[in-house]
Amino acid sequence: MEALYQHYLKHPFVFIDTRKELSNGIFVAVGQKDARGAHRGNQFAELAINSGKAAYAIINDAELKQQYAADERYILVEDGEIALQEFAKHHRKQLNCPIIAIAGSNGKTTIKELLHRVLSHQYKTFSTAGNLNNHLGVPLSLLSIDNSYEMAILEIGANHLEETRFLAALIEPDYGLVTNCGKDHLGEYGSIENIIKANKELYDVLSENNKPAFVCNNDALLVEISEAIPHRIFYGQNAAVDATIISRPFLKFELSIAPSKWMVQTNLFGAFWLDALLGAAAVGHYFKIDGAKIKKGIESYHPAALRSQLIAWNDNKVLLDCYNANPSSMEVFLAEIQQSNLKEAKVLVLGEMLELGDYSKEEHQKLVNEIDLNQFEQVLLVGASFLDIKLPLDNKLQHFETRNAVNDFLLTQEYKEHYFFVKGSRGNRLEELFQS
């Protein structure tokens, strides 16, 4: 590993996708294995080398290595994914900046982006790019950090037990934050209890390493499952960092960092984001960032990438919250819309929730039961998961089995100054309905 690390110091760009625009980096072959145990990524190693994108290629294909026996740029390992993870683990020990790990069911990416904006006011800050938060993304993120950074935020994404623990152990975070425990990946986890256990795994790693956690006092469950951590930094009710909601649905709140207060107007839709906003403020306060700078950082965040992203479509507004969906995030999203006093006519477009396994029928029925049809001009349900449940007989509500079917319907309508609220699992790709 040390020899490989010396190569990295000269070529500190590690990648697994040859479509990346870079040069002179280190390519690691990963992906599914064939009958010989060789990763699919091996077939791109020659391209990476010959195109100049890679100075070295880490492969696990003995036949390919034999073909280039005299070429030291091809480095043979037993398993590319494990090599990538061990490589990142070795690099982690060379880093000096504090690393904050974020786990949880909902809102991880949003709080990561909020934190980045807050911390960047005072520190050179690294944060996970895009969705590089899994068994490949986390090591790639770690290998993207160098000692010029003064702070780093790494997101942990998981969908089965022990995955959060594995990634947290790889990161060795100095601090941790769990957003919440909701019904994400319910089909894979198998139960709410397992989801709670999975999110607690970050707390467990922090506890074992005697590292602190930022914990939201507003969430009794998080307070309970973090009890073993020797040092907890609380935010929310009865804590130094708290807030009072002033208006919604685009959340405005009074931020209290004792003894001072700031009025903060966010670009986030929904009061359910308050805990995430408080978390970002609490971390900033802990790292000695002035309240005025925290306010500025929060207000500078504009949701993108389909996470409560507000766009214009013809003569209408569309709130796209369709990067992903699960019963917990759907529940608070729907409740916020139905409690809002928006003057525009509202159209609700809900895609099916995927990865629910045996819970799918029950959770889709619960969702439909929560819809107050009096609040909407139209409700459009999209996906096969709505087929097996009882739908209300009301001409305001229509079900479409496919995205193409609802697209055809939208083309027959004449909407003007309507407000569309769009949410569904990533597989629905509902944003494509509003790209024309």
Tens of pLDDT, residue by residue over 317-331, are: 999 999 999 999 999
Backbone angles phi, psi at 433, to 5 degrees: -70, -20
299 sits in the region (left: phi over 0; alpha: psi -120 to 50; else beta) called: alpha
Given this structure, which CATH class describes domain 95-299? alpha beta
To 5 degrees, how large is the angle CA 268–CA 196–CA 176?
60
pLDDT, residue 99, reads 98
**Which token pair is 227?**
């009890």
* Signed CA dihedral, 270, 319, 110, 300: sign only: negative
Cis peptide before 173 (omega within 30 of 0): no
User: In one letter, which amino acid is 324?
Assistant: N
Cα–Cα distance, 109 to 276 (Å, whole number): 10
Tell me the CATH number of domain 2-86, given options 1.20.120, 2.40.360, 3.30.310, 3.40.1390: 3.40.1390
pLDDT, residue 95, reads 97
Per residue in 220-259, pLDDT (tens digit) is: 999 999 999 999 999 999 999 999 999 999 999 999 998 9
Q: What pTM does this model have?
A: 0.93
Backbone angles phi, psi at 423, to 5 degrees: -150, 140
Per residue in 272-293, pLDDT (tens digit) is: 999 999 999 999 999 999 999 9
To 5 degrees, how large is the angle CA 167–CA 172–CA 175?
105
pLDDT, residue 3, reads 82
The position carrying tokens 């294995």 is: 33
pLDDT, residue 172, reads 98
**Which token pair is 110?**
């949003």
Contact predicate 214/175, CB 8 Å: yes
Cα–Cα distance, 280 to 179 (Å, whole number): 11
In the chain, domain spans: 2-86, 95-299, 309-434
Beta strands in 4-61 (DSSP E): 14-15, 25-28, 54-59
Contact predicate 159/198, CB 8 Å: no
Tell me the CATH number of domain 309-434, given options 3.40.50.620, 3.40.190.10, 1.10.10.60, 3.90.190.20: 3.90.190.20
What average pLDDT is seen over the chain? 95
pLDDT, residue 151, reads 98
* pLDDT < 50 regions, the chain: none
pLDDT, residue 20, reads 86
pLDDT, residue 123, reads 98
